[in-house]
Structure 1
Amino acid sequence: MTGIVIVRADGSWPAQYEKTARAVGELLGKTAQRIDHIGSTSVPGLAAKDVIDMQVTVESEPELDDVVERMVAADWEVRPPRRDHPVPGLPTEDLQWVKRVLVEPMYRRRVNLHVRVAGRANQRYPLMFRDYLRSHPETAQAYGEFKRRAAALPIESTADYAALKDPVCDLIYLPAEEWAARTDWTP
């Protein structure tokens, strides 16, 4: 068992994100084009693991490793994977899915820091996913229930839990693309 625990939404998650984003922004300076709160803790009312997911957007691929170097120097730890799963209907080129993941220094607030290149499919995906769920609270509620049930399964690792969630997220993302086109959404 992985010990994955899904908790009720915590109204303090946005403030916790802001505090961490300020610290990350100070470490990265202008290398970070933007820093966004992503994942379930960024959606009001959505049950989630008590881990703040953040995305740092950089201009180009060499800056991915620059961010890693700066964050490792500040005691952040690099983790796999080095790419996201390709999403049906989106570009399939490997470059569209490259990323870096870091986690917080020991004994600090749990954070997964995803670093992605601006304009790539995997950089746009979590922003649209977040905004779609914010605009569709019933979908967010159903997704939260799926996560609770998935976390209760005898899953071997957090990677297996993520792999179980990926196609469900894609099922949410595909109508999000249509929603984004109708609403002129931009990241």
Structure 2
Amino acid sequence: MIGLKSGTVKLVQHQEEWHENAENVISVLKQLLGDTALDIQHVGSTAICSIHAKPIIDIAVAVHDIKDILPYIEVLKQHNIFFHEGAVAGEVFFVMEDGDIRTHHIHIVKRNGTGWSNYISFRDYLNANPEKAMMYDEFKRKSAVRFADDRKRYTASKQEIIGQLLSEANM
């Protein structure tokens, strides 16, 4: 299963199809963005094998400068990848969706910036530390019940634990 109604929260068990789907989207992005994309990675909870996640694939695209992506807005739109202005501080944000069902979040971040580092460190730390992944999973599942119809509050509720895990990952 990939996709979730915009604004809602529903967590499902990890699914292997998420990795294959991410690889397919990464391949398309590489073709569309060429050398502007310095690196493209599957990130977020769907990239952490042992936890529940919203079935929305997160992809991080590293660029020299986030403004480098601006000339690609129209070509991405032609491939159903839509720009969302001001959605995430410090990055350029795109979504793939079918009506009100979101399937992918595409995060354009500076290669040597904090955003890129955080996406990669968080994913790698939780994949390498199953006990930390389970702690995060338990927290997420409780928050998902509390904020099932309010994705913004769900996301905000996770900031403290994400910060704690990132601090551990960067030690």
Corresponding position of 2:95? 103
Residue of structure 1 equivalent to 2:13: 8
8 Å CA contact 1:28–1:70 kept in 2: the answer is no
Distance 1:102 1:148, change over 3 A: same
Matched, 1:52 2:81: no
Aligned-partner Cα distance in 2 for 1:176–1:121 = 13
User: Aligned pairs, how many?
Assistant: 164
CA contact (8 A) 2:59 2:104 kept: yes
- Amino acid corresponding to residue 23 of structure 1 in structure 2: V
Percentage of identical aligned residues: 25
Q: Are 1:68 and 2:73 matched, yes or no?
A: yes
Q: Normalising by the residue count of structure 1, what TM-score does the alignment of the two structures yield?
A: 0.80
Q: Is the 8 A contact 1:64 1:117 kept in 2?
A: no
The whole-number CA distance in structure 1 between the counterparts of 2:43 and 2:54 is 13
Q: Where do 5+ consecutive residues of structure 1 fail to align?
A: 85-97, 179-187
Whose strand proportion is higher, 1 or 2?
2
Equivalent position amino acid for 1:160 in 2 = R
CA distance in 1, matches of 2:17, 2:71: 31
Gaps of 5+ in 2: 1-6
How far apart, in 2, do the equivalents of 1:155 and 1:41 lie? 18
Alignment partner of 2:43 out of 38, 56, 60 = 38
C-alpha displacement at 1:109, in angstroms? 7.6
> Which residue is equivalent to 1:133?
126
Query: In structure 1, what residue type is equivalent to 2:128?
Result: S
TM-score (norm 2): 0.87
